[in-house]
Amino acid sequence: MIDSNAALLARRRCHFWLGNFSGDNFQYGKFQAYCIFWAKQGVLVLQPTVSDRSFQYGDGIFTTMLVDNSQLVLWDLHWQRLAQSLQRLQMPPLNEQAVKLQAEQAITTPSQVVKLLVSRGQGGRGYSPAGFHEPLVYVTNSPLPDYQQQRQLGIRLGVASLQLSTQPLLAGIKHTSRLETVLLKAEAEQSAFDDLIVCDQQGRVTELCAANLFFKIKGQWCTPKLDQAGVAGVMRLWLLQHMDVQQGYYPVTALDDATAMFASNALMGVVPVQQFKQRPFNVDEVRPIQQLVPFLAGKISC
């Protein structure tokens, strides 16, 4: 269990600038954030090293949490996914109370983003995970993007040419090996659309670049099964618990019969699709679902 006073002393204000590392200045981008780095047994680390396995091999997992009214939103679902991912990757379990404490201490404004990344550890050479018994947890915060326009007006979707590789063992996990996502984001930014629908190598609809996808066919809301590829988002899980949704394998041609669509993730919540390829959708079909989401209720004009 981590001593809270020691953790508070270890919380250093880090200035993130484009440049080199000096003292508490760490290169990562042009914003500021609190960085808390610590291990399961309370070993405090003020910055990652080049020997960290999440840096060397992508041997880690992460989750990105919304802070609303100074509270971590959907914490239970974030923790559920983290704990299940640790088990599947054969990493030691973490103490939920200690991890949540550090995440809460990273909150500095009523509305922002807190990111929690777990690495198998640091040190050693080679791929073998043997000998790593204390995962490292990295907690950072950053400003919350403004999704209000997308929530209100909707987004335009195309279809990505890049397809996701299938690996059932990793399917659903938000791991730090995200090269496919990086390339997909680049493709989306070079397209004429706001985001792209991504299929796996069998041509099955899987997700968007950084969100899950729901679509209505013959009056039934549907979403792809994610047991072969993709990331099982916590907002998706919340919606599955509160809606009648059919999960299945859908070829991209099945979307020709869709009458409504929306995207979901933990930060933006539910965002309607106003256009798929050249076909328009009525975003009002998604309004009742947006009103279901606690942190969106009352914030969307119907």
Do residues 53 and 132 make contact, with C-beta atoms less than 8 angstroms apart? Answer: yes
Distance between CA atoms of 272 and 151, rounded to whole angstroms? Answer: 6
DSSP 141: E
40 is catalytic: no
Helix (H, G, I), strand (E, B) or coil at 251: strand
Q: Which of 140, 206, 207, 223 is catalytic?
A: 207
Distance between CA atoms of 35 and 25, rounded to whole angstroms? Answer: 11
- Please, which residues have CB within 8 angstroms of residue 3's CB and are 6 or more apart in sequence? 42
Residue 233: which of 73, 93, 83, 78 has the closest Cα? 78
Distance between CA atoms of 199 and 206, rounded to whole angstroms? Answer: 5
96 is catalytic: no
176 is catalytic: no
Radius of gyration of the chain (CA): 20
Residue 252: which of 197, 192, 291 has the closest Cα? 197
Distance between CA atoms of 51 and 227, rounded to whole angstroms? Answer: 31
Q: Please list the residues that pair with 158 across neighbouring strands.
A: 196
Place of tokens 């971590």: 72
At position 126, the amino acid (one-letter code) is G
Q: Terminal CA-to-CA distance of the chain, rounded, Å?
A: 47
Q: Which of 40, 63, 140, 174 is catalytic?
A: 174
What length does the chain have?
Answer: 302
For residue 4, the tally of other CB atoms under 10 A from its CB is 12
Q: Which of 64, 140, 206, 223 is catalytic?
A: 64
For residue 196 the two structure tokens come to 């792209």
Distance between CA atoms of 164 and 196, rounded to whole angstroms? Answer: 13
Catalytic residue annotation: 64, 174, 207
